[in-house]
Chain A
Amino acid sequence: MLKKRAFIKIVPFFLIVFFFLNYKNKNSNESYYSLNDKIAFNSSSKIKWIVVTSISEPTEQCKKLSSIPDFQLVVVADKKTTNTWHLDNTIFLSVSDQESLKFKSIKTTPYYSYTRKNIGYLFAIQNGAQFIYDTDDDNAPTVNINEYFNFKENDYGLVYDCSVESKILNPYAHFGQPQIWPRGYPLSEIEKNYNNSYVSGRRKCSIVQQGVVNGDPDVDAIFRLTKSMEYRKIDLYFDPSSPAFQIPLYKMSPYNSQNTLISYRGFWSLYLPKTVTFRLTDIWRSYWAQRLMWLINETISFNGPNAYQLRNAHNYLKDFNQEKSMYLQTEKFVDFLFKWRCKHSKFYLCMLQLSEDMVKKGFWLEEEVESIKNWIHDLTKVGYKEPIIVNYENKEPIYVKCEHKLGDFDQTQIRYTPNFQKSLDSINYGTEINENFQTLNYFQSECNKFNIDLNYSSKINSTESKLKFNFSILITFNHEPYEKNIVILDLLYKNHFQNVIFCGSRILDKLAQVRGLRKKFDSYNFIQMINFGSGDHHYLCMSKAIEMGFKTDGFLLLSDDILIKFWNFKKFDSTKVWYPFDLILGTVMDANLKLPWVHWPNVRNLISLWKVLEGMVGENLDNTETKIVKEYLRIIDSNQAFVGNGTKVKGAGSDIFYVPKIKFESCYYMTNMMRKYGVYLELAVPMLMAGLENNQSVQIMNGHFEWFGRALDFVSLYQKIDFYHPFKLSTIVNENPGKQYCKFYLYEYFSNSF
């Protein structure tokens, strides 16, 4: 009897033991050391973090991400990720690690969900992050992101013009692909033309900086279904020379959670909502965050291509289904955000109010609010300071009016046009317009008037021009430019220089009727100067071009009335300064000198500027400005003709000079100083060049300055020089010198360039 009853007791005992053992070793195959050892081991007080999620073995891109200097990679696991995931100098947060972090968000973050990344963000913030690079484990940048992104508080560059009426901006159009649109972009905006007006000037760095990617950029399922072709990968490129640009307040643009840098002041905006589909969570986050940024005067900005992304084709119809509510709701969501007002004067209260109102409108579900509460709680717990509201919406007038303080020293109006890249349709269907063809066609029909054949038909086959410089050309107009001259100069230079930029006064609206017709865009790059006089400070255009942030090897500045045989410039070194004269400074900087030069009295301004420079060096502060001025004065001294008797200067023709990329920063600073003190161009430019380059390494351009109005002698003088000034384009209309212009200049241009 006993045996039977005992037996009954033993069985459950065994069960419990077996169960306990089982539970124990599940735990033990945990990564072999506990969470804290991992943190201590890896993070050497790094302030830049990379947060990704991964459900597979360490990918190639993951390895690359882990070896980026100064960045600490943290990988947030999900239930599917094997716990033996390991990669050196990478922190791997397994599911149990995450649970041990004791964040309230753990309870409200679902498993098998991309939004587990929120825990990774909190972990990084907790461990001293000042910058978080948000990306995925299938995407690694091909450039050094320490240089690519901007880690400063303030900088200078392009800001989209807030007076343009469209609410949502298409960053892909800015980078040269106006025919495509990013995932999350409202469908009804696709047909609209892109209004390419900006301002250039000082700006507060954006808290979110997103980089676009070449190859297979982030587009929605509708794009993939309607534009991709069988057996063909999407292989698109953006203009590598395009400057980054900032979205102003009261405008928006969708951004995703790939290739994006978020700075400390923006960490609150990292929260990924969990009650929308995977294809929507980062887009909904971007619109939600940008509305809240208006309260704290913060912005987002986009930067040029810095990575090549390959995606393997999968069932786009499934994506289409997942993105369905995005297509239908984005319009309403954006309209709602533009009408929404915050009733509170504390930022987190506004964040919760917005999240609750979004629930009422059905943009996401009720549980999102509680999850955001936990997110706020954890942020404060890890020591993150709550942002302070700047533009209160519960008191006086709601919107800060959009007005740019225009003045050459404040903000300058810009019309920027990228180099349009091959559109997907032209790649797929060979409807490519041959850009060279337009130039060949135009000049041949002009020269037909003087029946000069530029043996154009033999050039017709060249699709690529054989003459290509990696620097950009900057053309200044002393007086209001004629449209015909802009067209001629643009056609002449655009196939050979990285960018063609025109700078002058009353230029912004020139050739505006082309707006919207071609590729939804209004072509040409115009910098609108204000107090420009008749070009006596045209050197300021150089600082404007640098300020805009083109990614180019250098800028060749020349006035519109210079004839240049640019095919002869291949011999010059594009990392050095070019100038038509030597840089030996031999004239003593003394206002009372009697010189035959009418503008010499302007040297007084130069003298007062010199006092300021020498004063700065005297103070010997350790800031960038002082470093620039010290270096500048050092090079000036190295170019002095003889020692003693004060600093010598030089006056010379300044209608053409070239500044390389490495000298941009000091050139920008010194040019602005020259302009502030009103130094006349034929003094300012030589003094600038002499402060940037030593006389031994300056590239001297051989050309002719004609001061006495004699016409250019094409037969003899023309053969010996590389440039001639002045040569008025308006004169080529009539027989002379039109015929010679065709016969000599254009003929030589065609044979050298195509």
Chain B
Amino acid sequence: MAKFINKVLFIIITFFLYVIIFIENYFRPSHSFTNQPKSAYKSIKSQFRINSKHNSSEKWIVVTSVSAPTEQCIKLSKIPGFKLLVVGDLKTNDSWKLENAIYLSVKTQESLGFQIFESLPFNSYTRKNIGYLYAIAHGAKFIYDTDDDNAPSVDLNTYFSFNDYDKGLIYDCSIEQKVINPYAHFGQPLIWPRGFPLYHIEQNYQNSYVSSNRRKVSIVQQGVVNGDPDVDAIFRLTKTMKFNKIDLYFDSSSPSFQIPLYKMSPYNSQNTLISYNGFWSLYLPKSVSFRLTDIWRSYWAQRLMWLLNETVSFNGPSAYQLRNAHSYLKDFELENAMYLQTEQYVDFLYEWRCKYDTFYKCMLQLSEEMAFRDFWNKSEVISIENWIHDLQMIGYKEPKIINYEHKKTDIFLKCEHLFNDFDKTRVRYTPEFQKPIEIQFYKKDNSFDLSDSVDHFKYFQNMCQKYNITLSNKYLYNSPKQESYSILITFNHEPIEENIIILDNLYKKKFKNIIYCGKQILTKLSGQRGMQKRFDSYTFIELINYGIGEFHYYCMNKAIEMGYKTDGFFLLSDDVLFKYWNVQSFKTNKIWFPFKLLLQQDSTKDIDGWQNHFISLRNSWAYLENIIKNEGFSLKEKDLAKQYLNYIEMNQDSNSTLINVKKMKICGSDTFYIPKEKFDFFYFVTDVFRMHSSLLEIAVPNIIAGLEKYDQNEFMDGVYIWDRSIHFNFSQYDTYVHFYHPFKLSYLKRDMVEYNYCSFYLREAFN
């Protein structure tokens, strides 16, 4: 009997132990994720049910809509090359119809057979996930993610970059800030995007970048919008004024820029292009509030991008957004978790490490740990599992991990840019600061003039007052219109800060942008860092093997490479006295050059005094001919080389005595203007000439002679004084000449020069 009781007792105890283990196992979140995820997604290649051809397209626009087709919806449906997909919800009435737009009613969504359908709530913005899947299933290579109240005012096909590689700005990864404020880059340092950590608002913006001739195009490209940009409820509550809509503008000339690995910036689901390699990142979490879902997605996605060596980039203003006022207090309540958690969320992401070597496992591990840390709800994990299952089902290839994290703890690859002019160039970029919101409300007031639009006038005022020359104050009433092109000033020697200040005051407000290029320039005038508009002003391009300016034409390549949106660049060295008011009649879509580019000089024979510099020209020409013959080059390169050589042929002086000898030109090249239409052409040819280290007096004329027929260029009437011994004096100063060279700014220290400078040059400049 006792043995029997012992046995019974034994069974009860073991049963009891078993129950405990079971409960403990079931409820404990399984972070040591040893086995397959619970409902292991089945990687099936099953034929996807709907494969009707007529709906397939490479570029898609995905929006959700609860109302009848909005005006912006109609605009979106008309964008060439893009297919509009509208995802309906319970509230949208199913007779929603718009010509060349596909509408997915809830019923159609269900019929698509996506597993995610079960885990997505109704009356929720996150139904958009089904739209993404539908587009991917129908051959999408690019998805433009936006809303039905936001239509771009520019042509999307030229605004975004659709190829794998391009050139342009990358934010400097050596800056210690983790989260970057894109609005500061585009000229509004006083405001911050929705999702930006509150604690970062007070910090100054470090405006250092690298310009790269070859960068991998970001899988997510977000464009900012003018008018009422995406800001959080705190901004709206504290910065708007009654009866006055937010009407903010960004610098339309600002180049786009890429966020480097191991930095982050919140982006939303408006005006954003996602390419094929980034489709996995489209998933909108359903368990966070509507005001948070795209922001939480952006941080989650950027952390996973580190594994794949992928990035996000931001582009200048491409739409005007109007939002009707609603209760910002309600938004404040919905965004509350964002204000309190963003800091911890970002810190958590920086500490997190993926334990796996396949991408989707990492995605699930991250999603689970976020649930464990309450950054979102546990139900999110199942929904992401469905998402992955559906991606597999429609044939989306799982991304391959490049930067493995499960082997070493220090995942942060050393952030080093390999610097040399042909790879990365260090740049300090400052946008044209736009009117801050505080001042926007003053503008309607009468003749208010901000102090900083008068400062440069005061600067020269003081300079000339010594000789009691007063510059006429008419300038203050009708300040001249701003040219649509930018000015690029090169320095042969290390620039003197005083000269930069003089040039800046001279050209500020008169040109779209002022860029300075030279060596040892980057840290000049950095004393004001953070004082003014949280920014360290001036835009500097720092070239390395620059000598004493023999290759200063290469600055033009760097400016083009940065990606400014401007009509053209007027390059001049710092010792050119430029009378820009005399060239206002020139066409900005033409090349301007101070000499006639009719090629007359014999390129085959060396002339003494030029030693073997001609070889660099002959080698460059040979290299270009080689590009046409040899197949190692892209079609585009071959075409450009052909065009170049044709123009060189066309510009040969037909009645020159040198027959069947290739003629060329040598001349002064301290100033010339390249329109945006010739940017790529100039960039390609100049690279070749720079590779062969061709001297500027040889390179510039012979590059430009290959870009256009010589009589199509605007002819600049300038005065070159070759004889270094005679100094420029104002006796033969002519009012209608376009420029004088050289006019060293250091001359101003000599007697009477500053007096003449005021009475002749500045008087003309300021009236």
Whether both chains belong to one complex is answered with yes
Q: Using CB atoms and an 8 Å cutoff, list the residues of chain A in contact with chain B.
A: 179, 187-188, 190-193, 222-223, 225-226, 228-231, 316-317, 320-321, 324, 327-328, 331, 423, 425-426, 428-434, 437-438, 441-442, 444-445, 455-458, 460-461, 514, 516-520
Number of A-B residue pairs at CB separation under 8 A? 135
Which of B437-445, B552-560, B738-746 makes up part of the contact surface? B437-445
Check if B22 is an interface residue, CB within 8 A of chain A.
no
Check if B496 is an interface residue, CB within 8 A of chain A.
no
Instruction: Check B238–A441 contact: CB distance below 8 A.
Output: no
A436 to chain B, nearest CB (A): 11
Check if B199 is an interface residue, CB within 8 A of chain A.
yes
Instruction: Check B238–A222 contact: CB distance below 8 A.
Output: yes
Give 25 CB contacts A-B under 8 Å.
A188-B237, A188-B328, A190-B237, A191-B242, A222-B238, A229-B204, A229-B534, A230-B202, A230-B203, A230-B530, A328-B332, A429-B189, A429-B436, A431-B436, A431-B439, A431-B450, A441-B449, A457-B472, A457-B473, A458-B470, A460-B454, A461-B462, A516-B241, A517-B444, A520-B241
Q: Which residues of B from 222 to 272 have beta carbons under 8 Å from A? A: 234-235, 237-238, 240-243
Given A191-B242, A425-B438, decide whether A228 and B198 contact each other with a Cβ distance below 8 A: no
Check if B201 is an interface residue, CB within 8 A of chain A.
yes
- What residues of B have a CB within 8 angstroms of the CB of A179 in the complex? 438
A447 to chain B, nearest CB (A): 12
Instruction: Check B332–A191 contact: CB distance below 8 A.
Output: no
Q: Which residues of B from 186 to 237 have beta carbons under 8 Å from A? A: 189-190, 198-199, 201-204, 234-235, 237
B534 to chain A, nearest CB (A): 7
Instruction: Check B445–A518 contact: CB distance below 8 A.
Output: yes
- What residues of B have a CB within 8 angstroms of the CB of A191 in the complex? 237, 240-242
Question: Considering the chains assembled together, what is the distance between the CA atoms of A456 and B470 in angstroms?
Answer: 10
- What residues of A have a CB within 8 angstroms of the CB of B189 in the complex? 429
Q: Which residue of B lies closest to A330 (CB)?
A: B329
Question: Considering the chains assembled together, what is the distance between the CA atoms of A434 and B455 in angstroms?
Answer: 12
Instruction: Check A226–B534 contact: CB distance below 8 A.
Output: no
- What residues of A have a CB within 8 angstroms of the CB of B234 in the complex? 222, 225-226
Instruction: Check B199–A458 contact: CB distance below 8 A.
Output: no
Instruction: Check A431–B329 contact: CB distance below 8 A.
Output: no
- What residues of A have a CB within 8 angstroms of the CB of B465 in the complex? 458
Check if B727 is an interface residue, CB within 8 A of chain A.
no
Check if B721 is an interface residue, CB within 8 A of chain A.
no
Proximity bits, B670-694, A CB within 8 Å = 1, else 0? 0000000000000000000000000
Check if B339 is an interface residue, CB within 8 A of chain A.
yes
Instruction: Check A228–B202 contact: CB distance below 8 A.
Output: yes
- What residues of B have a CB within 8 angstroms of the CB of A324 in the complex? 336, 340
Question: Considering the chains assembled together, what is the distance between the CA atoms of A516 and B243 in angstroms?
Answer: 9
Instruction: Check B438–A423 contact: CB distance below 8 A.
Output: yes
Instruction: Check A320–B242 contact: CB distance below 8 A.
Output: no
Instruction: Check B238–A190 contact: CB distance below 8 A.
Output: yes
**Beyond A429-B190, A460-B457, 7 additional pairs, beta carbon < 8 A:** A187-B328, A222-B238, A324-B336, A437-B449, A457-B476, A458-B461, A520-B441
Give the residue of B240, B327, B454 whose beta carbon is less than 8 angstroms from that of A437. B454
Instruction: Check B449–A229 contact: CB distance below 8 A.
Output: no
Q: Which residue of B lies closest to A328 (CB)?
A: B333
Question: Considering the chains assembled together, what is the distance between the CA atoms of A519 and B438 in angstroms?
Answer: 9
Instruction: Check A225–B201 contact: CB distance below 8 A.
Output: yes
Question: Considering the chains assembled together, what is the distance between the CA atoms of A431 and B448 in angstroms?
Answer: 12
- What residues of B have a CB within 8 angstroms of the CB of A316 in the complex? 199
Instruction: Check A187–B450 contact: CB distance below 8 A.
Output: no
Instruction: Check B451–A432 contact: CB distance below 8 A.
Output: yes
- What residues of A have a CB within 8 angstroms of the CB of B336 in the complex? 324, 328
Given A187-B329, A225-B202, A461-B461, decide whether A430 and B451 contact each other with a Cβ distance below 8 A: yes
Give the residue of B442, B461, B534 whose beta carbon is less than 8 angstroms from that of A429. B534
Instruction: Check B462–A438 contact: CB distance below 8 A.
Output: no
A722 to chain B, nearest CB (A): 30
Q: Which residue of A lies closest to B325 (CB)?
A: A191
A182 to chain B, nearest CB (A): 13
Instruction: Check B340–A517 contact: CB distance below 8 A.
Output: no
B241 to chain A, nearest CB (A): 6
Interface residues on B, range: 35 or more
Question: Considering the chains assembled together, what is the distance between the CA atoms of A461 and B462 in angstroms?
Answer: 9
Q: Which residue of B lies closest to A460 (CB)?
A: B458
Check if B447 is an interface residue, CB within 8 A of chain A.
yes
Proximity bits, B79-119, A CB within 8 Å = 1, else 0? 00000000000000000000000000000000000000000
Q: Which residues of B from 529 to 549 have beta carbons under 8 Å from A? A: 530-534
- What residues of B have a CB within 8 angstroms of the CB of A516 in the complex? 241-243
Most chain A beta-carbon contacts within 10 A, residue among B204, B237, B530: B237
Q: Which residue of A lies closest to B204 (CB)?
A: A230
- What residues of A have a CB within 8 angstroms of the CB of B449 in the complex? 437, 441
Instruction: Check B458–A461 contact: CB distance below 8 A.
Output: yes
B325 to chain A, nearest CB (A): 9
Most chain B beta-carbon contacts within 10 A, residue among A223, A317, A431: A431
B194 to chain A, nearest CB (A): 13
Q: Which residue of A lies closest to B465 (CB)?
A: A458
Instruction: Check B242–A192 contact: CB distance below 8 A.
Output: yes
Instruction: Check A460–B241 contact: CB distance below 8 A.
Output: no
Given A225-B201, A230-B202, A425-B436, decide whether A517 and B445 contact each other with a Cβ distance below 8 A: yes
- What residues of A have a CB within 8 angstroms of the CB of B532 in the complex? 429-430
- What residues of B have a CB within 8 angstroms of the CB of A193 in the complex? 241-242
- What residues of B have a CB within 8 angstroms of the CB of A442 in the complex? 447
B529 to chain A, nearest CB (A): 11
- What residues of B have a CB within 8 angstroms of the CB of A441 in the complex? 447, 449, 476
A490 to chain B, nearest CB (A): 13
Given A433-B451, A434-B451, decide whether A460 and B436 contact each other with a Cβ distance below 8 A: no
- What residues of A have a CB within 8 angstroms of the CB of B438 in the complex? 179, 423, 425-426, 431
- What residues of B have a CB within 8 angstroms of the CB of A331 in the complex? 329
Question: Considering the chains assembled together, what is the distance between the CA atoms of A190 and B234 in angstroms?
Answer: 11
Question: Considering the chains assembled together, what is the distance between the CA atoms of A320 and B343 in angstroms?
Answer: 13
A50 to chain B, nearest CB (A): 34
- What residues of A have a CB within 8 angstroms of the CB of B202 in the complex? 225, 228-230
Q: Which residue of A lies closest to B237 (CB)?
A: A187
- What residues of B have a CB within 8 angstroms of the CB of A433 in the complex? 442, 448, 450-451
Instruction: Check A457–B534 contact: CB distance below 8 A.
Output: no
Question: Considering the chains assembled together, what is the distance between the CA atoms of A6 and B530 in angstroms?
Answer: 80
B646 to chain A, nearest CB (A): 53
Check if B155 is an interface residue, CB within 8 A of chain A.
no
- What residues of A have a CB within 8 angstroms of the CB of B458 in the complex? 460-461
Question: Considering the chains assembled together, what is the distance between the CA atoms of A437 and B166 in angstroms?
Answer: 48
A358 to chain B, nearest CB (A): 20
B221 to chain A, nearest CB (A): 28
A524 to chain B, nearest CB (A): 14
- What residues of A have a CB within 8 angstroms of the CB of B531 in the complex? 430
Question: Considering the chains assembled together, what is the distance between the CA atoms of A457 and B763 in angstroms?
Answer: 14
Check if B452 is an interface residue, CB within 8 A of chain A.
yes
Check if B722 is an interface residue, CB within 8 A of chain A.
no
Instruction: Check A225–B199 contact: CB distance below 8 A.
Output: yes
Instruction: Check A455–B462 contact: CB distance below 8 A.
Output: no
- What residues of B have a CB within 8 angstroms of the CB of A519 in the complex? 442
Check if B477 is an interface residue, CB within 8 A of chain A.
yes
Q: Which residue of A lies closest to B766 (CB)?
A: A457
Question: Considering the chains assembled together, what is the distance between the CA atoms of A425 and B533 in angstroms?
Answer: 9
Question: Considering the chains assembled together, what is the distance between the CA atoms of A456 and B465 in angstroms?
Answer: 13
- What residues of B have a CB within 8 angstroms of the CB of A460 in the complex? 454, 457-458, 461, 473, 476
A651 to chain B, nearest CB (A): 44
Check if B471 is an interface residue, CB within 8 A of chain A.
yes
Across the A-B interface, the 6 shortest Cβ-Cβ residue pairs: A457-B473, A187-B237, A225-B198, A425-B438, A191-B240, A429-B533
- What residues of A have a CB within 8 angstroms of the CB of B471 in the complex? 457
A196 to chain B, nearest CB (A): 15
- What residues of A have a CB within 8 angstroms of the CB of B444 in the complex? 517
A221 to chain B, nearest CB (A): 9
Question: Considering the chains assembled together, what is the distance between the CA atoms of A516 and B327 in angstroms?
Answer: 21
Question: Considering the chains assembled together, what is the distance between the CA atoms of A518 and B190 in angstroms?
Answer: 20
Instruction: Check A455–B204 contact: CB distance below 8 A.
Output: no
Instruction: Check A320–B339 contact: CB distance below 8 A.
Output: yes
- What residues of A have a CB within 8 angstroms of the CB of B201 in the complex? 225-226
